[in-house]
């Protein structure tokens, strides 16, 4: 899904550049996903860490699609390869955990108003497993 691709691009950009505004990510998220994403970015910045490199989507599949109470919603299972993403400290030293999996699984819930509008990520369920 294009919305998830844009979300990941912006998510990575926010973690790579401590001065980047979070405005773009707020247009791609709502609710719990926005709160979670902004908290993760703040935590990374507070720890004076940043990332370098980029991830890639390995697989993506729609698990469920619904229409209810004026919203279209989809749950998407996504496997992301993060092997090329490095975590750097404020001096640029690579501090990426050696035990970090190279791939991670997350289930995203996206929604949009049935009368128009754009898709936004509103729930992120990160799994503690590889894919």
Query: Per residue in 94-126, pLDDT tens?
Result: 999 999 999 999 999 999 988 888 999 999 998
Domain spans of the chain?
A: 2-126
Q: What is the pLDDT of residue 128?
A: 63
Query: What's the pLDDT band for 130 if we cut at 50, 70, 90?
Result: confident
| Matching CATH number, 2-126, of 3.40.640.10, 3.10.450.240, 2.60.40.1180, 1.10.268.10 | 3.10.450.240
Number of H helices, E strands in the chain: 3, 6
The tens digit of pLDDT for each residue in 1-44 reads 789 999 999 999 999 999 999 988 999 999 999 999 999 999 99
Q: What average pLDDT does range 83-102 have in this prediction? A: 95
Q: Are 55 and 11 in contact (CB under 8 A)?
A: no
How much is the pTM? Answer: 0.86
| Cα distances (angstroms) measured from residue 77 to each of 49, 68, 90, 125, 131 | 28, 21, 33, 10, 10
Q: Are 119 and 110 in contact (CB under 8 A)?
A: yes
Q: Which residues contact 36 (CB under 8 A, 6 or more apart)?
A: 124
More confident residue, 35 or 71: 35
């Amino acid at each position: 899904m294009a919305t998830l691709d844009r979300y990941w691009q912006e998510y990575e950009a926010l973690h790579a550049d401590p001065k980047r505004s979070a405005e773009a990510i707020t247009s791609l998220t709502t609710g719990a996903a926005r709160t979670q994403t902004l908290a993760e970015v703040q935590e990374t910045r507070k720890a004076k860490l940043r990332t370098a490199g980029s991830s890639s989507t390995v697989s993506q599949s729609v698990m469920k699609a619904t229409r209810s109470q004026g919203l279209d919603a989809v749950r998407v299972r996504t496997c992301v390869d993060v092997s090329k993403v490095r975590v750097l400290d404020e001096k640029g030293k690579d501090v990426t955990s050696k035990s970090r999996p190279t791939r991670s699984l997350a289930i995203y819930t996206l929604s949009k108003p049935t009368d128009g509008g754009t898709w936004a990520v509103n729930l992120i369920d990160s799994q503690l497993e590889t894919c």
